Chains A and B, each alone.
Chain A
Amino acid sequence: MNYIDSNLKVVGTRPIRPDGIDKVTGRAVYSADTRAAGMLWGKILRSPHAHARIISIDTSKAEAVPGVRAVVTAADFPEIASEEAFVGEGPMNFRDLSTNIMARTKVLYEGHALAAVAATTPAAADEALALIDVKYEVLPYVIDVDEAMADGAPVLHDDMFTAGVNPKPSKPSNIAKVVTFKKGDADAGFAQADIIVEGRYTTKPVHQGYIEPHACLATYNPDGQVTIHASSQGHFMIRAYTAKLLGLDMADIRVNPAEIGGGFGGKTLIYLEPVAVALSRKSGKPVKMQMTREDVFRGSGPTSGASMDIKIGAKKDGTIVAAKQVLRFQAGAFAGSPIGPGCMCGFALYDIENVDVLGYDVVSNRPKVAAYRAPGAPITSFAVESALDDLADKLGIDPLELRIKNAAKNGTKTHYGVTHANIGFEQVLAVTKAHPHWTSPVAPGNGRGIAMGFWFNIGGESSATVHVNEDGSVTAATGSPDIGGSRASMGMMVAEVLGITVDRVRTTVADTASIGFTFLTGGSRVTFATGMAVTQAAEKVVEDLKRRAAQTWDIPVEAVEWRDGMAYPAGSNAGAFEPLDLAALALKAGRTGGPINAEVSVNAQGAGAGFGAHICDVKVDKETGHVEIVRYTALQDVGKAIHPSYVEGQIQGGAVQGIGWALSEEYIYNAKGQLDNPGFLDYRCPVASDVPMIEAVLVEVPNPRHPFGARGVGEVPIVPPMAAIRNAIKHATGLQLTDLPMSPPKIRAASDAAA
């Protein structure tokens, strides 16, 4: 059923968040809060070298430390053959995943795990780690993506031969893959152009910066049953990866989802869980592991950094006739950067006849990258949206008008072959043009920038159950970890379908043994896909309630209608009966067929792409190079906002993370290839005092493929900020910056050079 044009009473309102009290009172149980009787503390030994061959690992002294119960190395994990699968948020090679959580023959980055200890106290575990004797043959390393691609660069993997080129290379290299997308004839298009802009842009790897470090508690029972408590973006993902890496049956593993303190894509793969299970198996005790912040930076994945070349050509009237882009993405130590979406997203917003995009997936001696909101899109859009601003300058056209003139519409065929449908980009641009931020004058000395963003959004597999309890209250359960407010939005959709108030519905996140498979929370899929499942489950409950009312009144089910949470006879011919509410029907459930519940599993399609526009005003201190964000407005097509406050929060959070990416966040490596700033003091994420109130403007273009019109919202808002800020700085100072972050030293250097 589709409710888009219905008179909605719950969806679209702003009830108090169901997890709010627990979180603000400190009662919410995160992974690090879990305990078990007899629990041991697990800790990991990490490589001090950026690249080295492991000659030997002697754990005998560590094992002799009082309190130490187990030590594991790669020898305690099965060797896994190279096997590509798309099982998480991107292509995954299980051999790489296994080698990433425990190095086997080489360490490939500083922080690479190569042994682990379980002991009765953290101090004993630390003492044991210090006594593990590792003999290394230190190898040359490479950090930078362009240097990693150069002839003569240290090669990380002897068996990596660039895929996607013909003929197949005869020598291994750090280029894992080459991808290309072509539409039309770019060279012919440039020949028609009156104006051409070109540029080279670079971005740094940035961490998702979730507040909660990775942590888990694992228990391996003597009968082979495993229980894991962990926070993640997908407890089914933890179960699958742990089973694969340890050679266990999934049915023997039960993963309980803990409250999650942020993920943003970084918790779509695993680091600790198989290690904790291996330690528990060896020691016979539950094992708890938790990363420090330093571990998070050294051992878990940021998103890619990149270097990019871009060229865009247009006619004098602003019609873009050709575009070319070359993208080189750092994948970290193992293949798998988001080069595919990186190549697809930048020009997806525009109707361009001739496009040529070439992408490289490149390994180097850094932690393996993980997903980060709209993986790849913010990087490519930094180059595209910056170049478009320069193009607008050259053409003497308003930068928003340039976007409006070339905007993709329903029916526009992208350079990667997909034809846009049910998109709201034109509506976003129209609202942006009329917004008071855009129409207001820029304060003297300040600069204003604008940039756009796109993300596909996805659907996928989700399961949900809806139970009517004995008193008529309702419990809904899904398999989706709640990262962006899904418990609230799921409960609201159930309440809307059942015709009751949302305070009568409680939503939980069920463990892997208690609900059907649910793909992880990512790709901005949960409100869309799991929302579809929970809506259909509620509809099945309504049908069942109508049947039970019909049975109670002894009339045909067709003579019963359901509205406002009650069953009514459908007209006077059906009979004169008092309406039956949920509580009345639940009370008699035993007489009408037993418990009232429904479970639905879906593989949702038709997610509906998202588009956004960000406007940013900055003030630049020319003495210090400090950039102050004076005003920031983020406008986005969100489909139908189920709970507008959460949607606004997603947009504000994405914008703030983008501000950090633009202005301050970067990994700083020393001359030995070691990370010098593995903490929030030196790795500078923006805090509340760094940003103004981010005004989130919800443009609601309902997605007809969802019962309430929802589309994903969590990824688009991190795409435009870097270019919006760069363009604002340009208009404030005249500096055409091309390298992120645009931190004070860089702005000072650029100012000095310009002077």
Chain B
Amino acid sequence: MPTVVLSSGGSCRELTGGLTTFEVEATTFRRLVLELEQRFPGLGKQVEESMAVAIDGEIFQDAYGAVLKPGSEIVLIPKIGGG
């Protein structure tokens, strides 16, 4: 199963009850968001609306279809804009 890592402390960790690393059964980013929302109500919404995700090191923003592999590391980070 892919492993989710919360890189940033703050409101995400409030929603996970302090958990920073956990496994989630998902093969796409969209499924991951749905699973997060089910397991930690509010987290999926937060991830979708204000976070980016790094899948095995690469940052994806707004990509439901991004593929997760068994053993993939998914890092949740603040969404990135710019100037």
Contacts and interface: CB of A to CB of B under 8 A. Distances in A.
Contact of A164 (B10, B49, B66, B81): B10
Interface string A414-427: 01111111000000
B61 interface: yes
A86 interface: yes
Contacts of B38: none
22 contacts: A86-B49, A89-B81, A89-B82, A90-B79, A163-B11, A338-B81, A341-B81, A344-B77, A371-B83, A372-B83, A416-B7, A416-B8, A416-B75, A416-B77, A417-B77, A418-B57, A456-B80, A523-B81, A525-B82, A605-B58, A605-B66, A714-B83
Interface in B30-48: none
Contacts of A91: 50, 79
Contacts of A524: 82
Interface in A328-368: 338, 340-341, 343-344
B82 A523 contact: yes
A455 interface: yes
Contact of A715 (B61, B62, B83): B83
B50 A84 contact: yes
Contact of B59 (A88, A178, A418, A714): A418
Most buried by A among B50, B63, B83: B83
B8 A459 contact: no
B80 A458 contact: yes
B77 to A, nearest CB: 5
A440 interface: no
A347 to B, nearest CB: 13
A164 B9 contact: yes
B71 interface: no
Interface in B1-37: 5, 7-11, 13-14, 18
Nearest to A415: B7
A265 interface: yes
Nearest to B9: A180
Contact of B75 (A90, A177, A303, A417): A417
Nearest to B6: A417
Nearest to B81: A89
A199 interface: no
Contacts of A208: 83
A90 B49 contact: no
B82 A164 contact: no
B45 to A, nearest CB: 10
Nearest to A361: B10
A516 to B, nearest CB: 15
Contacts of B49: 84-86
Nearest to A370: B83
Contact of A163 (B10, B57, B62, B81): B10
A746 interface: no
A166 interface: yes
Contacts of B78: 179, 340-341, 344
Q: Considering residues A461, A524, A607, which has the most beta carbons from chain B within 10 angstroms of its beta carbon?
A: A607
Contacts of B77: 340, 344, 416-418
A179 B7 CA distance: 10
B81 A459 contact: no
Interface string B51-70: 00010111111110010000
Contacts of A182: 9
A456 B8 contact: no
Contacts of B59: 418, 456, 605, 607
Contacts of B11: 163-164, 177
Nearest to B65: A603
A88 B79 CA distance: 11
Interface in A567-613: 603, 605-607
Contacts of B14: 164, 166, 168
Contacts of A168: 14
Contacts of B57: 413, 418-421
Q: Please name the 8 residue pairs, one residue from A and one from B, whose CB atoms are nearest each other, closest first.
A: A523-B82, A265-B83, A419-B57, A164-B10, A417-B75, A180-B9, A340-B78, A417-B7
A374 interface: yes
Given A180-B8, A417-B5, A373 B56 contact: no
Contacts of A607: 59
A168 B78 CA distance: 21
A667 interface: no
Nearest to B57: A419
Most chain A beta carbons < 10 A, residue from B5, B8, B78, B81: B81
Contacts of A660: none
A286 to B, nearest CB: 31
Contacts of A460: 61-62
Interface core residue of B5, B10, B11 (most chain A CB under 10 Å):
B10
Contacts of B79: 86, 90-91, 340
A88 B81 contact: yes
A264 interface: yes
Interface string A72-86: 000000000000111
A463 interface: no
A553 interface: no
B58 A606 contact: yes
B26 to A, nearest CB: 18
B36 to A, nearest CB: 16
Nearest to A178: B10
Contacts of B66: 605
Nearest to B74: A417
Contacts of B60: 605
Contact of B81 (A177, A375, A420): A375
Given A85-B49, A338-B81, 7 more contacts: A86-B49, A166-B14, A166-B18, A268-B83, A340-B80, A418-B59, A712-B82
A721 interface: no
Contacts of A373: 82-83
Contact of B61 (A89, A90, A458): A458
Contacts of A461: 62
A443 B54 CA distance: 46
Nearest to A375: B83
Contacts of A85: 49-50
A525 B83 CA distance: 10
B54 A417 contact: yes
A371 B66 CA distance: 28
